Structure 1
Protein backbone atom coordinates (compact mmCIF):
# COMPACT_ATOMS: atom_id res chain seq x y z
CA UNK A 1 0.00 0.00 0.00
CA UNK A 2 1.33 3.44 -0.90
CA UNK A 3 2.67 5.73 1.81
CA UNK A 4 -0.15 7.57 3.53
CA UNK A 5 -2.90 5.55 1.88
CA UNK A 6 -6.15 5.35 3.76
CA UNK A 7 -6.39 2.02 5.52
CA UNK A 8 -2.70 1.73 6.41
CA UNK A 9 -1.91 0.76 10.00
CA UNK A 10 -1.34 3.96 11.97
CA UNK A 11 2.26 4.06 13.19
CA UNK A 12 2.95 4.62 16.86
CA UNK A 13 -0.65 4.43 18.07
CA UNK A 14 -1.89 1.66 20.34
CA UNK A 15 -5.56 1.40 19.50
CA UNK A 16 -7.90 -1.12 21.15
CA UNK A 17 -9.08 -4.29 19.52
CA UNK A 18 -12.86 -4.17 19.65
CA UNK A 19 -14.70 -7.48 19.69
CA UNK A 20 -17.71 -6.13 17.81
CA UNK A 21 -16.64 -2.87 16.15
CA UNK A 22 -19.44 -2.71 13.57
CA UNK A 23 -22.61 -1.56 15.28
CA UNK A 24 -26.04 -0.73 13.91
CA UNK A 25 -27.54 1.72 16.37
CA UNK A 26 -30.92 3.07 15.46
CA UNK A 27 -30.86 3.98 11.78
CA UNK A 28 -27.08 4.33 11.45
CA UNK A 29 -24.22 1.86 11.22
CA UNK A 30 -20.76 2.59 12.65
CA UNK A 31 -17.47 0.82 12.16
CA UNK A 32 -15.69 1.84 15.34
CA UNK A 33 -12.42 0.52 13.95
CA UNK A 34 -12.55 3.54 11.61
CA UNK A 35 -14.92 6.03 13.19
CA UNK A 36 -15.04 8.30 16.23
CA UNK A 37 -18.64 9.31 16.81
CA UNK A 38 -19.55 12.71 18.20
CA UNK A 39 -22.41 12.72 20.70
CA UNK A 40 -24.11 16.10 21.10
CA UNK A 41 -25.68 17.14 24.41
CA UNK A 42 -29.18 18.49 24.84
CA UNK A 43 -30.20 19.21 28.44
CA UNK A 44 -33.90 19.77 29.01
CA UNK A 45 -33.26 20.88 32.55
CA UNK A 46 -33.47 24.33 34.19
CA UNK A 47 -30.24 23.76 36.14
CA UNK A 48 -27.94 21.93 33.75
CA UNK A 49 -24.21 21.96 34.48
CA UNK A 50 -23.03 23.84 31.38
CA UNK A 51 -25.85 25.67 29.64
CA UNK A 52 -27.85 26.57 32.77
CA UNK A 53 -31.25 25.93 31.21
CA UNK A 54 -30.66 27.37 27.73
CA UNK A 55 -32.50 24.42 26.15
CA UNK A 56 -35.07 23.80 28.88
CA UNK A 57 -37.96 25.11 26.80
CA UNK A 58 -39.30 22.42 24.48
CA UNK A 59 -38.97 24.43 21.28
CA UNK A 60 -35.38 25.37 22.11
CA UNK A 61 -34.49 21.77 22.96
CA UNK A 62 -35.91 20.47 19.68
CA UNK A 63 -34.25 23.27 17.71
CA UNK A 64 -30.89 22.57 19.34
CA UNK A 65 -31.20 18.82 18.73
CA UNK A 66 -32.02 19.27 15.04
CA UNK A 67 -29.21 21.80 14.67
CA UNK A 68 -26.72 19.41 16.28
CA UNK A 69 -27.64 16.71 13.75
CA UNK A 70 -27.27 19.21 10.91
CA UNK A 71 -23.82 20.20 12.21
CA UNK A 72 -22.63 16.63 11.90
CA UNK A 73 -23.35 15.01 15.25
CA UNK A 74 -23.60 11.23 14.99
CA UNK A 75 -25.59 10.95 18.22
CA UNK A 76 -27.74 13.36 20.21
CA UNK A 77 -27.97 12.70 23.95
CA UNK A 78 -31.07 14.13 25.63
CA UNK A 79 -31.27 14.51 29.40
CA UNK A 80 -34.11 15.59 31.66
CA UNK A 81 -32.32 15.45 35.03
CA UNK A 82 -28.77 16.59 35.76
CA UNK A 83 -26.27 14.16 37.31
CA UNK A 84 -25.52 16.33 40.34
CA UNK A 85 -27.86 16.62 43.33
CA UNK A 86 -30.72 19.08 43.04
CA UNK A 87 -34.48 19.32 43.39
CA UNK A 88 -36.28 15.98 43.04
CA UNK A 89 -37.70 15.38 39.57
CA UNK A 90 -40.38 12.67 39.50
CA UNK A 91 -40.06 10.03 36.78
CA UNK A 92 -43.23 11.23 35.05
CA UNK A 93 -41.86 14.77 34.83
CA UNK A 94 -38.50 13.52 33.55
CA UNK A 95 -40.30 11.55 30.83
CA UNK A 96 -42.39 14.61 29.95
CA UNK A 97 -39.15 16.54 29.45
CA UNK A 98 -37.31 14.09 27.21
CA UNK A 99 -39.92 12.09 25.26
CA UNK A 100 -41.26 15.00 23.16
CA UNK A 101 -37.71 15.93 22.14
CA UNK A 102 -36.97 12.32 21.18
CA UNK A 103 -40.13 12.08 19.09
CA UNK A 104 -39.56 15.41 17.34
CA UNK A 105 -35.92 14.63 16.53
CA UNK A 106 -36.73 11.12 15.29
CA UNK A 107 -39.22 12.67 12.85
CA UNK A 108 -36.59 15.10 11.52
CA UNK A 109 -33.35 13.08 11.35
CA UNK A 110 -31.83 9.61 11.27
CA UNK A 111 -29.27 10.67 13.90
CA UNK A 112 -28.78 8.24 16.78
CA UNK A 113 -30.87 9.39 19.72
CA UNK A 114 -29.85 8.56 23.26
CA UNK A 115 -31.50 9.45 26.54
CA UNK A 116 -29.51 10.12 29.69
CA UNK A 117 -31.52 8.42 32.44
CA UNK A 118 -31.20 5.87 35.23
CA UNK A 119 -34.94 5.23 35.50
CA UNK A 120 -36.42 2.19 33.74
CA UNK A 121 -39.81 3.81 33.16
CA UNK A 122 -38.21 6.82 31.47
CA UNK A 123 -36.00 4.53 29.39
CA UNK A 124 -39.00 2.51 28.24
CA UNK A 125 -40.96 5.61 27.21
CA UNK A 126 -37.92 7.06 25.41
CA UNK A 127 -37.29 3.86 23.44
CA UNK A 128 -40.94 3.76 22.39
CA UNK A 129 -40.61 7.36 21.17
CA UNK A 130 -37.55 6.60 19.03
CA UNK A 131 -34.46 6.53 21.24
CA UNK A 132 -31.97 3.80 20.40
CA UNK A 133 -29.50 4.33 23.27
CA UNK A 134 -29.98 4.56 27.03
CA UNK A 135 -27.09 6.42 28.65
CA UNK A 136 -27.08 5.38 32.32
CA UNK A 137 -24.59 7.38 34.38
CA UNK A 138 -25.19 5.21 37.46
CA UNK A 139 -23.75 1.90 36.24
CA UNK A 140 -27.15 0.13 36.18
CA UNK A 141 -28.00 1.16 39.74
CA UNK A 142 -31.53 -0.11 39.08
CA UNK A 143 -31.41 -3.65 37.59
CA UNK A 144 -34.80 -3.08 35.95
CA UNK A 145 -33.13 -0.67 33.54
CA UNK A 146 -31.13 -3.55 32.10
CA UNK A 147 -34.35 -5.53 31.67
CA UNK A 148 -35.97 -2.67 29.73
CA UNK A 149 -32.98 -2.43 27.41
CA UNK A 150 -32.78 -6.20 27.01
CA UNK A 151 -36.41 -6.30 25.89
CA UNK A 152 -35.70 -3.75 23.13
CA UNK A 153 -33.16 -3.25 20.35
CA UNK A 154 -31.51 -0.38 22.21
CA UNK A 155 -27.87 0.01 23.19
CA UNK A 156 -26.90 0.62 26.82
CA UNK A 157 -24.07 2.90 27.94
CA UNK A 158 -22.67 1.65 31.26
CA UNK A 159 -20.93 4.43 33.18
CA UNK A 160 -18.71 4.33 36.24
CA UNK A 161 -19.86 6.32 39.24
CA UNK A 162 -19.72 5.58 42.97
CA UNK A 163 -22.70 7.21 44.65
CA UNK A 164 -26.40 6.45 44.44
CA UNK A 165 -28.17 8.49 41.75
CA UNK A 166 -27.95 12.24 42.36
CA UNK A 167 -26.01 11.80 45.58
CA UNK A 168 -22.58 13.17 46.48
CA UNK A 169 -19.51 10.96 46.96
CA UNK A 170 -17.48 13.23 49.26
CA UNK A 171 -13.73 13.14 48.77
CA UNK A 172 -13.73 10.05 46.52
CA UNK A 173 -10.76 7.77 47.12
CA UNK A 174 -9.09 5.30 44.76
CA UNK A 175 -5.98 3.24 45.38
CA UNK A 176 -5.74 2.55 41.62
CA UNK A 177 -8.17 4.81 39.77
CA UNK A 178 -8.01 3.27 36.29
CA UNK A 179 -7.74 -0.28 37.58
CA UNK A 180 -10.72 0.09 39.90
CA UNK A 181 -12.83 1.73 37.21
CA UNK A 182 -11.95 -1.00 34.72
CA UNK A 183 -12.90 -3.67 37.27
CA UNK A 184 -16.22 -1.93 37.96
CA UNK A 185 -17.04 -1.71 34.26
CA UNK A 186 -16.15 -5.36 33.65
CA UNK A 187 -18.42 -6.43 36.51
CA UNK A 188 -21.29 -4.25 35.27
CA UNK A 189 -20.85 -5.58 31.72
CA UNK A 190 -21.11 -9.12 33.07
CA UNK A 191 -24.26 -8.09 34.93
CA UNK A 192 -25.80 -6.60 31.77
CA UNK A 193 -24.99 -9.78 29.85
CA UNK A 194 -26.64 -11.85 32.59
CA UNK A 195 -29.83 -9.79 32.16
CA UNK A 196 -29.96 -10.57 28.45
CA UNK A 197 -28.32 -7.57 26.77
CA UNK A 198 -25.96 -8.85 24.06
CA UNK A 199 -22.39 -7.58 24.07
CA UNK A 200 -22.85 -5.88 20.70
CA UNK A 201 -25.36 -3.54 22.36
CA UNK A 202 -23.08 -2.39 25.18
CA UNK A 203 -20.89 0.72 25.40
CA UNK A 204 -18.74 1.67 28.40
CA UNK A 205 -17.92 5.07 29.89
CA UNK A 206 -15.33 5.60 32.67
CA UNK A 207 -17.23 8.66 33.92
CA UNK A 208 -14.84 11.59 33.72
CA UNK A 209 -15.38 13.77 36.82
CA UNK A 210 -18.27 11.62 38.06
CA UNK A 211 -17.41 11.04 41.74
CA UNK A 212 -13.79 11.81 40.88
CA UNK A 213 -11.66 14.86 41.58
CA UNK A 214 -9.54 16.62 38.97
CA UNK A 215 -6.30 14.78 39.76
CA UNK A 216 -8.11 11.44 39.58
CA UNK A 217 -9.80 12.33 36.28
CA UNK A 218 -6.52 13.45 34.73
CA UNK A 219 -4.89 10.15 35.70
CA UNK A 220 -7.88 8.25 34.36
CA UNK A 221 -7.53 10.09 31.05
CA UNK A 222 -3.79 9.33 30.84
CA UNK A 223 -4.56 5.67 31.46
CA UNK A 224 -7.67 5.47 29.29
CA UNK A 225 -6.15 2.62 27.30
CA UNK A 226 -6.77 0.43 30.38
CA UNK A 227 -10.48 1.11 29.88
CA UNK A 228 -10.60 0.88 26.10
CA UNK A 229 -8.69 -2.42 26.21
CA UNK A 230 -11.82 -4.01 27.71
CA UNK A 231 -12.81 -4.35 24.06
CA UNK A 232 -16.13 -2.50 23.95
CA UNK A 233 -16.61 0.93 22.39
CA UNK A 234 -15.71 3.54 25.00
CA UNK A 235 -17.51 6.85 25.46
CA UNK A 236 -15.48 9.80 26.76
CA UNK A 237 -17.74 12.50 28.23
CA UNK A 238 -15.16 15.26 28.72
CA UNK A 239 -16.84 18.40 27.43
CA UNK A 240 -16.37 21.54 29.54
CA UNK A 241 -16.02 19.57 32.75
CA UNK A 242 -14.45 20.81 35.95
CA UNK A 243 -11.23 18.85 35.46
CA UNK A 244 -10.64 21.04 32.41
CA UNK A 245 -11.60 24.25 34.17
CA UNK A 246 -9.43 23.47 37.19
CA UNK A 247 -6.48 22.36 35.05
CA UNK A 248 -6.52 25.59 33.03
CA UNK A 249 -8.23 28.00 35.47
CA UNK A 250 -10.98 28.60 32.92
CA UNK A 251 -14.66 29.27 33.54
CA UNK A 252 -17.23 27.14 31.72
CA UNK A 253 -17.59 29.42 28.66
CA UNK A 254 -13.79 29.30 28.14
CA UNK A 255 -13.21 25.54 28.14
CA UNK A 256 -13.63 24.68 24.44
CA UNK A 257 -9.92 24.38 23.65
CA UNK A 258 -9.32 22.22 26.71
CA UNK A 259 -12.34 20.09 25.86
CA UNK A 260 -11.10 19.46 22.33
CA UNK A 261 -7.66 18.54 23.66
CA UNK A 262 -9.17 16.10 26.16
CA UNK A 263 -11.44 14.58 23.51
CA UNK A 264 -8.53 14.18 21.08
CA UNK A 265 -6.30 12.53 23.68
CA UNK A 266 -9.17 10.22 24.61
CA UNK A 267 -9.71 9.30 20.96
CA UNK A 268 -6.01 8.59 20.47
CA UNK A 269 -6.16 6.28 23.50
CA UNK A 270 -9.09 4.38 22.04
CA UNK A 271 -12.33 6.22 22.87
CA UNK A 272 -14.78 5.77 20.02
CA UNK A 273 -17.52 8.18 21.11
CA UNK A 274 -16.94 11.66 22.51
CA UNK A 275 -19.76 13.55 24.24
CA UNK A 276 -19.44 17.25 23.44
CA UNK A 277 -21.39 20.49 23.77
CA UNK A 278 -19.86 22.40 20.81
CA UNK A 279 -20.74 20.09 17.94
CA UNK A 280 -19.18 21.71 14.87
CA UNK A 281 -15.77 22.09 16.50
CA UNK A 282 -15.87 18.56 17.93
CA UNK A 283 -16.84 17.06 14.57
CA UNK A 284 -13.93 18.82 12.88
CA UNK A 285 -11.53 17.61 15.57
CA UNK A 286 -12.63 13.98 15.34
CA UNK A 287 -12.67 13.95 11.52
CA UNK A 288 -9.11 15.33 11.67
CA UNK A 289 -8.06 12.55 14.05
CA UNK A 290 -9.56 10.03 11.60
CA UNK A 291 -7.63 11.63 8.72
CA UNK A 292 -4.34 11.48 10.67
CA UNK A 293 -4.98 7.84 11.50
CA UNK A 294 -5.57 7.12 7.82
CA UNK A 295 -9.22 6.20 8.27
CA UNK A 296 -10.63 8.82 5.90
CA UNK A 297 -9.48 10.66 2.80
CA UNK A 298 -8.83 14.42 2.87
CA UNK A 299 -11.79 16.30 1.43
CA UNK A 300 -9.75 18.54 -0.90
CA UNK A 301 -6.08 17.44 -1.12
CA UNK A 302 -4.66 20.00 -3.55
CA UNK A 303 -1.73 21.42 -1.55
CA UNK A 304 1.62 21.04 -3.39
CA UNK A 305 0.04 19.06 -6.21
Structure 2
Protein backbone atom coordinates (compact mmCIF):
# COMPACT_ATOMS: atom_id res chain seq x y z
CA UNK A 1 0.00 0.00 0.00
CA UNK A 2 1.43 3.35 -1.00
CA UNK A 3 1.93 5.88 1.79
CA UNK A 4 2.73 8.88 -0.41
CA UNK A 5 0.74 12.06 0.33
CA UNK A 6 -2.87 11.62 -0.77
CA UNK A 7 -2.56 7.87 -1.30
CA UNK A 8 -5.68 5.75 -0.87
CA UNK A 9 -5.75 2.61 1.25
CA UNK A 10 -6.04 -0.86 -0.26
CA UNK A 11 -7.80 -3.94 1.06
CA UNK A 12 -6.05 -6.55 3.19
CA UNK A 13 -6.47 -9.18 0.46
CA UNK A 14 -5.01 -6.89 -2.22
CA UNK A 15 -2.02 -6.07 -0.06
CA UNK A 16 -1.41 -9.74 0.71
CA UNK A 17 -1.59 -10.65 -2.97
CA UNK A 18 0.88 -7.89 -3.84
CA UNK A 19 3.57 -8.50 -1.25
CA UNK A 20 3.59 -12.11 -0.04
CA UNK A 21 4.71 -13.71 -3.35
CA UNK A 22 7.54 -11.17 -3.60
CA UNK A 23 8.71 -11.83 -0.05
CA UNK A 24 8.62 -15.59 -0.61
CA UNK A 25 10.63 -15.27 -3.82
CA UNK A 26 13.25 -13.03 -2.19
CA UNK A 27 13.49 -15.25 0.88
CA UNK A 28 14.15 -18.35 -1.22
CA UNK A 29 16.60 -16.71 -3.63
CA UNK A 30 18.69 -14.41 -1.40
CA UNK A 31 19.90 -14.04 2.17
CA UNK A 32 19.09 -10.33 2.45
CA UNK A 33 17.16 -8.94 5.40
CA UNK A 34 13.55 -8.39 4.36
CA UNK A 35 11.34 -5.70 5.86
CA UNK A 36 7.57 -5.55 5.36
CA UNK A 37 6.12 -2.04 5.15
CA UNK A 38 2.56 -2.41 6.40
CA UNK A 39 0.15 -1.25 9.08
CA UNK A 40 -2.12 -4.29 8.84
CA UNK A 41 -1.60 -7.04 11.46
CA UNK A 42 -2.84 -9.72 9.05
CA UNK A 43 -0.18 -8.74 6.51
CA UNK A 44 2.51 -8.55 9.21
CA UNK A 45 1.84 -12.14 10.26
CA UNK A 46 1.84 -13.60 6.74
CA UNK A 47 4.88 -11.55 5.72
CA UNK A 48 6.97 -12.80 8.63
CA UNK A 49 5.87 -16.37 7.92
CA UNK A 50 6.98 -15.80 4.31
CA UNK A 51 10.45 -14.61 5.34
CA UNK A 52 10.34 -10.99 6.51
CA UNK A 53 12.25 -10.26 9.71
CA UNK A 54 11.38 -6.58 10.24
CA UNK A 55 7.98 -4.91 10.45
CA UNK A 56 8.05 -1.29 9.28
CA UNK A 57 4.84 0.52 10.23
CA UNK A 58 4.24 4.15 9.25
CA UNK A 59 1.35 4.14 11.74
CA UNK A 60 3.58 2.92 14.59
CA UNK A 61 1.41 -0.09 15.47
CA UNK A 62 -1.75 1.97 16.01
CA UNK A 63 -4.10 -0.51 14.30
CA UNK A 64 -6.15 -2.84 16.47
CA UNK A 65 -4.03 -5.84 17.58
CA UNK A 66 -0.90 -4.57 15.78
CA UNK A 67 1.08 -4.30 19.02
CA UNK A 68 0.09 -7.78 20.12
CA UNK A 69 0.82 -9.21 16.67
CA UNK A 70 4.38 -7.88 16.62
CA UNK A 71 4.92 -9.10 20.18
CA UNK A 72 3.89 -12.62 19.16
CA UNK A 73 5.99 -12.53 15.98
CA UNK A 74 9.07 -11.51 18.02
CA UNK A 75 10.67 -9.54 15.17
CA UNK A 76 12.29 -6.12 14.96
CA UNK A 77 9.86 -3.26 14.42
CA UNK A 78 10.32 0.25 13.04
CA UNK A 79 7.96 2.82 14.54
CA UNK A 80 7.42 5.89 12.36
CA UNK A 81 5.86 9.19 13.35
CA UNK A 82 3.13 10.59 11.13
CA UNK A 83 0.71 13.40 11.90
CA UNK A 84 -2.67 12.35 10.49
CA UNK A 85 -2.77 9.76 7.70
CA UNK A 86 -1.50 9.66 4.10
CA UNK A 87 -4.72 11.27 2.87
CA UNK A 88 -4.63 14.19 5.31
CA UNK A 89 -1.08 14.48 6.65
CA UNK A 90 0.03 17.42 4.50
CA UNK A 91 -3.01 19.58 5.26
CA UNK A 92 -1.50 22.25 7.51
CA UNK A 93 0.61 20.10 9.87
CA UNK A 94 1.21 21.94 13.15
CA UNK A 95 3.53 21.36 16.12
CA UNK A 96 4.55 23.20 19.26
CA UNK A 97 8.11 22.00 18.67
CA UNK A 98 8.43 19.35 15.98
CA UNK A 99 11.36 17.47 17.54
CA UNK A 100 10.03 17.59 21.11
CA UNK A 101 6.54 16.57 19.98
CA UNK A 102 7.92 13.58 18.07
CA UNK A 103 10.03 12.59 21.09
CA UNK A 104 6.89 12.63 23.23
CA UNK A 105 5.18 10.42 20.64
CA UNK A 106 8.11 7.97 20.67
CA UNK A 107 8.09 7.81 24.47
CA UNK A 108 4.42 6.81 24.45
CA UNK A 109 4.90 4.24 21.69
CA UNK A 110 7.95 2.65 23.29
CA UNK A 111 6.05 2.31 26.56
CA UNK A 112 3.09 0.72 24.75
CA UNK A 113 5.43 -1.75 23.03
CA UNK A 114 7.11 -2.78 26.26
CA UNK A 115 3.73 -3.23 27.98
CA UNK A 116 2.67 -5.90 25.45
CA UNK A 117 6.00 -7.72 25.57
CA UNK A 118 7.97 -6.23 22.67
CA UNK A 119 11.60 -6.10 23.76
CA UNK A 120 12.99 -2.57 23.72
CA UNK A 121 16.08 -3.73 21.84
CA UNK A 122 13.85 -4.76 18.92
CA UNK A 123 12.57 -1.21 18.35
CA UNK A 124 13.80 1.15 15.61
CA UNK A 125 12.63 4.78 15.49
CA UNK A 126 11.82 6.79 12.35
CA UNK A 127 10.74 10.44 12.83
CA UNK A 128 8.98 10.33 9.48
CA UNK A 129 10.39 12.98 7.16
CA UNK A 130 7.60 14.23 4.90
CA UNK A 131 4.80 12.54 6.84
CA UNK A 132 2.71 15.39 8.20
CA UNK A 133 5.54 17.95 8.15
CA UNK A 134 6.20 21.21 6.34
CA UNK A 135 9.55 21.97 4.73
CA UNK A 136 10.59 23.90 7.83
CA UNK A 137 9.60 20.97 10.06
CA UNK A 138 11.68 18.58 7.95
CA UNK A 139 14.73 20.83 8.01
CA UNK A 140 14.45 21.32 11.78
CA UNK A 141 14.23 17.54 12.24
CA UNK A 142 17.30 16.97 10.09
CA UNK A 143 19.28 19.68 11.88
CA UNK A 144 18.36 18.30 15.33
CA UNK A 145 18.27 14.62 14.37
CA UNK A 146 20.83 13.71 17.02
CA UNK A 147 18.29 14.62 19.73
CA UNK A 148 16.43 11.40 18.92
CA UNK A 149 19.52 9.50 20.10
CA UNK A 150 18.35 10.13 23.66
CA UNK A 151 16.25 6.94 23.45
CA UNK A 152 19.32 4.79 22.92
CA UNK A 153 17.64 2.99 20.00
CA UNK A 154 18.56 2.67 16.31
CA UNK A 155 17.34 5.60 14.20
CA UNK A 156 16.12 5.41 10.62
CA UNK A 157 15.97 8.36 8.23
CA UNK A 158 13.95 8.23 5.02
CA UNK A 159 14.82 11.31 2.97
CA UNK A 160 15.46 9.88 -0.48
CA UNK A 161 13.70 11.76 -3.30
CA UNK A 162 11.27 13.37 -0.88
CA UNK A 163 9.43 16.52 -1.93
CA UNK A 164 11.53 18.55 0.53
CA UNK A 165 14.57 17.73 -1.65
CA UNK A 166 12.73 18.84 -4.77
CA UNK A 167 11.55 22.06 -3.13
CA UNK A 168 15.04 23.01 -2.00
CA UNK A 169 16.28 22.37 -5.54
CA UNK A 170 13.80 24.77 -7.18
CA UNK A 171 11.03 22.19 -7.66
CA UNK A 172 13.33 19.58 -9.19
CA UNK A 173 11.47 16.50 -10.43
CA UNK A 174 11.98 13.12 -8.79
CA UNK A 175 14.55 11.95 -11.32
CA UNK A 176 16.75 14.96 -10.62
CA UNK A 177 16.95 14.52 -6.86
CA UNK A 178 19.78 11.96 -6.65
CA UNK A 179 22.57 14.29 -5.50
CA UNK A 180 20.23 16.09 -3.12
CA UNK A 181 19.08 12.78 -1.65
CA UNK A 182 22.64 11.55 -1.18
CA UNK A 183 23.57 14.81 0.53
CA UNK A 184 20.59 14.51 2.87
CA UNK A 185 21.58 10.92 3.72
CA UNK A 186 25.11 12.05 4.60
CA UNK A 187 23.76 14.78 6.89
CA UNK A 188 21.39 12.32 8.56
CA UNK A 189 24.21 9.84 9.24
CA UNK A 190 26.46 12.60 10.55
CA UNK A 191 23.63 13.59 12.89
CA UNK A 192 23.03 10.10 14.25
CA UNK A 193 21.07 8.00 11.75
CA UNK A 194 21.92 4.31 11.90
CA UNK A 195 19.80 3.32 8.89
CA UNK A 196 18.93 5.29 5.76
CA UNK A 197 16.14 4.29 3.42
CA UNK A 198 17.24 5.11 -0.13
CA UNK A 199 16.41 4.57 -3.78
CA UNK A 200 19.89 5.24 -5.20
CA UNK A 201 21.76 2.57 -3.29
CA UNK A 202 25.16 2.62 -5.02
CA UNK A 203 25.47 6.41 -5.00
CA UNK A 204 24.53 6.59 -1.33
CA UNK A 205 26.83 3.70 -0.39
CA UNK A 206 29.77 5.34 -2.17
CA UNK A 207 29.17 8.66 -0.42
CA UNK A 208 28.87 7.02 3.01
CA UNK A 209 31.99 4.94 2.37
CA UNK A 210 33.97 8.15 1.76
CA UNK A 211 32.39 9.72 4.84
CA UNK A 212 33.40 6.69 6.89
CA UNK A 213 36.94 6.94 5.60
CA UNK A 214 37.43 10.43 6.99
CA UNK A 215 35.33 10.13 10.15
TM-score normalised by the chain length of structure 1? 0.67
CA shift digits 1:19-55 (9 cap, x unpaired): xxxxxxxxxxxxxxxxxxxxxxxxxxxxxxxxxxxxx
C-alpha contact (below 8 Å) 1:81/1:94 kept by paired residues: no
User: Helix, strand or coil: the match of 1:287?
Assistant: helix
CA RMSD of aligned residues (A): 1.3
The one of the two structures with greater contact order (alpha-carbon pairs below 8 A, sep at least 6) is 1
2:65 is the alignment partner of 1:144: yes
2:88 aligned residue? 168
Q: CA–CA distance in 2 between the matches of 1:119 and 1:288?
A: 39
Question: How far apart are the structure 2 equivalents of 1:171 and 1:213?
Answer: 8
Instruction: Name which of 19, 23, 38 aligns with 1:102.
Output: 23
Aligned partner of residue 151 in structure 2, secondary structure: coil
1:239 matched to 2:169? The reply is: no
* Number of residues of Structure 1 aligned to a counterpart in Structure 2: 213
Task: Give the aligned partner of residue 275 of structure 1.
Answer: 197
Q: Which residue of 2 aligns with 1:266?
A: 188
1:74-223 equivalences under 5 Å are 80-164=1-85, 166-169=86-89, 170-223=91-144
Q: Any conservation in 2 of the 1:228–1:269 contact (CA below 8 Å)?
A: no
Q: How far apart are the structure 2 equivalents of 1:86 and 1:205?
A: 20
1:112-160 deviations in Å (ceiling 9; x for gaps): 1001111100111100100001110112221411211111231110001
Give 5+ residue unaligned stretches, structure 2: none
2:6, 2:88 within 8 Å by CA — same for their partners in 1? Answer: yes
Q: Deviations over 1:42-97 (max 9, x none)?
A: xxxxxxxxxxxxxxxxxxxxxxxxxxxxxxxxxxxxxx433433344101110111
| CA gap 1:143/1:195 in 2 versus in 1, 3 angstroms | farther
Higher helix proportion (structure 1 or 2)? 2
Q: Distance in 2 between matches of 1:134 and 1:115?
A: 5
CA distance in 2, matches of 1:103, 1:130: 6
The alpha carbon displacement at 1:212 in A equals 0.3
Q: Report the 3-state secondary structure (helix = DSSP H, G, I; strand = E; otherwise coil) of the residue aligned with 2:65.
A: helix
Are the counterparts in 1 of residues 2 and 8 from structure 2 also a CA contact under 8 Å?
A: no
Q: TM-score, normalised by structure 2?
A: 0.94
Helix, strand or coil for the counterpart of 2:166?
Answer: helix
Greater alpha carbon shift after TM alignment, 167-176 vs 267-276:
167-176
The C-alpha deviation readout for 1:168-199, integer Å capped at 9, x for no partner, is 13101112111111111121111111111101
Distance 2:100 2:163 in 1: 22
Structure 2 Cα separation of the partners of residues 159 and 264 of structure 1: 20
2:211 maps to what in 1?
289
- Structure 1: 5+ residue stretches without partners: 1-79, 294-305
Contact residue 81 and residue 117 of structure 1 kept, 8 A:
no
Q: 1:251 aligns with which of 173, 190, 206?
A: 173
